[in-house]
Structure 1
Amino acid sequence: MPTYQYACNDCGEQLEVVQKFTDDALTVCPGCQGNLRKVFSAVGIVFKGSGFYKTDNRSSSTAPAASPSASASSKPAEGKSSDSGSSTTPAAAPAPAAAPN
């Protein structure tokens, strides 16, 4: 059952009451017999369990064969190459095979 928060318009008393959804809202303050009003506040949401993140239902077998992190790790790190700047230039494509006569 939910807990509702009420505040008295006359004396300012605040109270929390556990009520059913079908119960009528309280209108009379128990302290001064003044008018009560419901107090609404932001609701905190907590997601518990699995299935709330896009990575929860994926298995490692569905990952693409060549991931960007795998190809980046196979390249030599900057500044550790023995060639001066050749690591940043792309490799030359193989020459096409000569056509037979």
Structure 2
Amino acid sequence: MPTYDYLCRGCGHEFELFQRMTADPEKKCPNCKKLKLTRLIGSGSGVVFKGSGFYQTDYRSESYKQKAAEETKSASSEKSDTKSESKSSEAKPAKADKPKKPKSE
């Protein structure tokens, strides 16, 4: 069941009402008892998950998070080590001399 926002045009009272989608909109203000109540167009609400997790992978344990952090650190340090080694071991190839074309006169 959705929550609807209401506004009284008589007294300015605003409130939310939890009611069925098939229910008729309320017309009588609970504050001033006048028939000037208007249902507002709301943005709706998000889904609220309560309880002890819906998927086991949603709530990782602290030990899992620590291992994952260590793995990313070691992987990044290995990449930087291999990059520095490859740069130092690479020798720049000598430029091949191009044969000179004879000048045509």
TM over 0.5: no
User: Structure 2 length as normaliser, TM-score?
Assistant: 0.42
TM-score, normalization: structure 1?
0.44
